[in-house]
Amino acid sequence: MTTWIIVVVAVSWASLMIRSSLAEWRYYRSIQTNAPEIWNQLGTKYYPWIPFVLITKARKQLLEKIDTPEVVAKARMYQRAGRQFIAFVMAVILVAVGYFSLASF
């Protein structure tokens, strides 16, 4: 029984992680194609550094200036996928803590 639970949780985690990563990649790709002037201002020529764009406040403000409908839609999908992934991880942690605290009695 516990093996199936572990498999389901692992597959769900992997699926949500891949979905979140793809949404992020599509979001940055849409910025690159639909708002190249902002893409150049971000200074992200090296792809592995792209996720670190949001670290500085100035770069985040640049991203908020984009009003292209396609980029805004991709940003919403990226944010929603990230929230769902974090909510899943939090739910798994809470259920595990509850289970192990009850199992210790």
Nearest partner of 17 among 79, 74, 81, judged by Cα: 81
pLDDT at 40: 84
CA atoms of 41 and 37, how far apart (whole Å): 6
Domain residues of the chain, as ranges?
1-104
Residue 55 tokens read as 């670290």
Specify burial of residue 17 (Cβ count, 10 A radius: 0-12, 13-18, 19+): middle
Per-residue pLDDT of 25-82, as tens digits, reads 999 899 989 988 888 887 766 667 667 766 778 888 888 889 999 999 999 999 999 9
* pTM of the shown model: 0.81
Whether the pLDDT of residue 95 is over 80: the answer is yes
Does the pLDDT of residue 86 top 80, yes or no?
A: yes
The Cα–Cα gap between 13 and 27 comes to 21
